[in-house]
Structure 1
Amino acid sequence: MSAPLRLVLFDVDGTLVDSQGSIVAGMTASFGALSLTVPDRKAILSIVGLSLPNAMARLAPEQSETVQHNLVEGYKQAYHANRLEQGAASSPLYPGARDAIETLHNIPEVLLGVATGKSQRGLDALIEAHDLERYFVTRQVADHHPSKPHPSMIDTARSETGVDAADTVMIGDTRFDMDMARAAGVTGIGVSWGYHDQSALNGAACIIETFDQLPRALDNIWT
């Protein structure tokens, strides 16, 4: 009897790549262009993972929807310019990320995907920059879903791959990822190196400190 298909979904920013420099720079440019006080670094990183409209609503709640929309557009332009200037260096892979992806990809019954607050354009550019095109069979982005922690991204990834909830794991660095996993009825694994404190990951089945701990964490969940 063949093993059941397993689905491993990764968040991107703060989980696979360290994009905080580009995110903070983009927010700084966006707020500065409108002569608004720039949120501090901790506040900016606290919203990573949300879709941009939701993120701006949290960062600038006192501003009108028009101003928040302009902040979103300004951020997109600044982030895109930074990516064009720096390439893959704007969002480097965390140590061990590529090896973990390669190891899991080589297991026949394991399918890989991403569920991210990035746009389709942003995710596609990042995947191309790091030569990761062949690994992810499902890619869920903010353009097509409600913001995390709504379960739509995970539900759609499962629908595309035909994998049961019990055989699906969501890996991320934020409370939004763990809450999304819970909402979708799948297991969440937290990572310690991202943008939310570990105390925010209390919905995780476990928290890994390095990528080389991931295979054993998955084995413990599935066996």
Structure 2
Amino acid sequence: MSGPLRLILFDVDGTLVDSQGDIVASMTAAFDAVGHPVPARDAVLGIVGLSLEVAMTRLAPGLGVRDHDMMVTAYKDSYVGLRAAKGAASSPLYPGALAVLEALGGRDEYLLGVATGKSRRGLDALFDSHGLRGRFVTEQVADHHPSKPHPSMVLAAMAETGIDPAHTVVVGDTVFDMEMARAAGARGIGVSWGYHPARDLQGQAVRVIDSFDALPLCLDELWESVA
């Protein structure tokens, strides 16, 4: 082993996989279920990463709890149906994602994990479709935590692995991911290919990268600043 153990936590939607088509379609189904106008695409993608309950209240603040609950159910039903019909094509991996996961996973000093707004069921189905089972030593999902940007997911992952904040990084595409990292005392690396504009990540992330290929070097440079 070439150094201390380090934890790299990945967001999923918008970071590892591109699921925007199914997200927008399922959100449309959710709003149709309560007869409410569907928000613009940018607004829908802007809440990716939040738990569904929080996302619905942000997108439709004028609706009540009963409507929000119906929307969550309709969204989940639509998403499950789309995934069953399309398989891996429902949420394709971004270019370079698998190769970089393999490269990082092959380094003894790196522990890989995920911190996602997906449910346990949704994450399991995604991992099965892409053959990603067993690549991550810690998997934090929405079922067991408050919504991002609360630091609960990162804190739990660090506790599970015994890694301190100075040696923990969150890789994500949203401001919520970066805020979550900072709230846990960790650092965030933003990715420009996801659902929040790169300019919005600049003030929150220690670095914003434009391709998966840039991640290994970015991590090496980052760790050089840690005693």
Query: What is the identity percentage for the equivalent residue pairs of Structure 1 and Structure 2?
Result: 61
Which amino acid letter does the alignment assign opposite residue 135 of structure 1?
A: R
Deviation at 1:116, TM superposition (A): 0.4
Q: Which of 168-177 and 25-34 deviates more? A: 25-34
Deviation at 1:33, TM superposition (A): 2.2
Aligned: 1:13 with 2:13: yes
Residue 136 of structure 1 aligns to a residue whose secondary structure is: coil
d(CA) in 1 for partners of 2:194, 2:78? 22
d(CA) in 1 for partners of 2:182, 2:127? 27
Residue 196 of structure 2 aligns to a residue whose secondary structure is: coil
Match of 1:219 in 2: 220
The alignment's TM-score, normalised by the length of structure 2, stands at 0.97
Match of 2:59 in 1: 59
Which amino acid letter does the alignment assign opposite residue 168 of structure 1?
A: T
Aligned: 1:175 with 2:175: yes
Aligned residue pairs: how many? 223
Deviation at 1:2, TM superposition (A): 6.0
Structure 2 unaligned runs (5+)? none
d(CA) in 2 for partners of 1:69, 1:101? 36
Match of 1:24 in 2: 24
Deviation at 1:124, TM superposition (A): 0.7
Q: Is the 8 A contact 2:173 2:194 kept in 1?
A: yes
Instruction: Map Cα deviations across residues 129-158 of structure 1 (whole Å, 9 max, x no partner).
Output: 100112101000110000000000000000
Aligned: 1:210 with 2:225: no
Which amino acid letter does the alignment assign opposite residue 71 of structure 1?
A: M
Residue 43 of structure 2 aligns to a residue whose secondary structure is: helix
Structure 1 unaligned runs (5+)? none
Aligned: 1:44 with 2:33: no
Q: Which of 184-193 and 33-42 deviates more? A: 33-42
d(CA) in 2 for partners of 1:147, 1:200? 19
The alignment's TM-score, normalised by the length of structure 1, stands at 0.98
Q: Is the 8 A contact 2:33 2:70 kept in 1?
A: no
User: What is the root-mean-square deviation in Å for CA atoms of aligned residues?
Assistant: 0.9
d(CA) in 1 for partners of 2:70, 2:19? 22
Q: Which of 109-118 and 30-39 deviates more? A: 30-39
Q: 5 Å matches for 1:93-112?
A: 93-112=93-112
